[in-house]
């Protein structure tokens, strides 16, 4: 019982995730700045921003639904932490695992977006409502390609368990090459899930202030920001476990080191995408995901089905 609580609350649970999330935010912001020929923030800036928000006064709109307004950031934070516990990190087995945990992780990662919608909608603010509607609309654009891109490796591994999928690709390391299309699709979908450029439509600062978070301040906004930082780590860890199954059989220290390299490589790719592309309109984003990204994801499924048929023969 004590060991389980330590794993959930300390390592590799909430405390470790929070620290890693702040480091990831610094790396992302620093790379983004350097790619734009700017200096970027100091290493302590994410922590300073978080502590500053914790110390600020919380201002709640009079017409807001207090219960939904206050609970949304808590549920966003809790869902991302729980999802992390089912992902294999620097080995082939997650802290907690069972058959079908891939589906559970995907649904847990959907909860933060739903809380963005609920928090914005129940703020009863014009800008918050627009941001909330954009968040939930965007969800229907990227979520299906993300599901399909992760379905393809699962088909080849013949399992819906993330631990079993990771173990299969660790035992057949060259098969990851057949999932490169899916990796590209998953990266694009992760950009949409994290609401990063070019898919930062729900938080478009030049259009709707801060979208769903316009009316949030103080501790509640800090929780939302921490949930987003942690979601970056969870999303990168999920992609690393499924598409980059390297060095999982190494000793724990080397495995942990390579795990960090893989997730920060993915974060670097996300930062590069933020630099290269400009924000899309919501209709352009939906058209792009359904017209181009989803068909590529289906092509990945077809490739893996053919490969699986060849292996069975």
d(CA 198, CA 267): 15
13-34 exposure pattern, b = at least 16 Cβ within 10 A, e = fewer = bbeebbebbbbbbbbbbbbbee
Longest dimension (CA), the chain: 66
pLDDT the model gives residue 313? 59
> What pLDDT is recorded for position 191?
93
Asked if the bond preceding 12 is cis, omega within 30° of 0, the reply is: yes
> What are the backbone dihedrals phi and psi of residue 89, each rounded to the nearest 5 degrees, phi first?
-105, -80
| CB < 8 Å & 24+ apart, contacts of 155-161 | 155/301, 155/304, 155/305, 155/308, 156/304, 156/307, 156/308, 158/308, 159/99, 160/99, 160/100, 160/101, 160/102, 160/103, 161/97, 161/98, 161/99, 161/100, 161/101, 161/102
Q: How far apart are CA 8 and CA 85, in angstroms?
A: 8
Show the low-confidence residues of the chain (pLDDT under 70): 249-250, 312-313
pLDDT given for residue 294 in this prediction:
94
Contact in structure between 131 and 208 (CB atoms under 8 Å): yes
Domain boundaries, the chain: 2-312
């Amino acid at each position: 019982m004590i060991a389980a609580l330590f794993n959930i609350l300390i390592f590799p649970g909430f405390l470790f995730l929070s620290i890693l999330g702040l480091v990831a935010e610094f790396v992302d912001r620093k790379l983004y700045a350097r790619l734009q020929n700017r200096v970027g923030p100091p290493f302590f800036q994410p922590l300073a921003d978080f502590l500053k928000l914790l110390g600020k006064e919380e201002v709640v709109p009079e017409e807001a639904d207090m219960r939904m307004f206050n609970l949304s950031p808590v549920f966003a934070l809790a869902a991302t932490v729980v999802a992390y516990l089912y992902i294999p990190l620097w080995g082939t087995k997650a802290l907690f695992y069972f058959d079908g945990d891939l589906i559970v992780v995907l649904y847990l990662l959907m909860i933060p977006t739903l809380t963005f919608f609920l928090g914005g909608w129940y703020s009863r603010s014009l800008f918050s409502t627009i941001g909330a509607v954009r968040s939930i609309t965007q969800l229907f654009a990227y979520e299906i390609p993300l599901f399909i891109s992760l379905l393809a490796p699962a088909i080849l591994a013949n399992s819906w368990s993330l631990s079993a999928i990771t173990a299969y690709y660790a035992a057949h390391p060259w098969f990851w090459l057949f999932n490169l299309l899916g990796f590209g699709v998953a990266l694009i979908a992760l950009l949409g899930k994290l609401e990063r450029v070019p898919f930062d439509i729900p938080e478009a600062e030049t259009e709707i202030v801060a979208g769903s978070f316009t009316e949030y301040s103080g501790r509640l906004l800090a929780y939302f920001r921490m949930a987003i930082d942690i979601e970056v780590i969870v999303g990168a860890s999920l992609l690393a476990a499924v598409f980059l199954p390297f060095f999982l059989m190494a000793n724990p220290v080397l495995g942990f080191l390579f795990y960090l390299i893989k997730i920060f490589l993915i974060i670097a790719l996300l930062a590069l995408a933020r630099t290269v592309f400009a924000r899309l309109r919501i209709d352009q984003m939906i058209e792009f995901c359904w017209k181009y990204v989803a068909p590529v994801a289906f092509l990945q499924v077809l490739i893996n089905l053919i490969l699986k048929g060849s292996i069975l023969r």
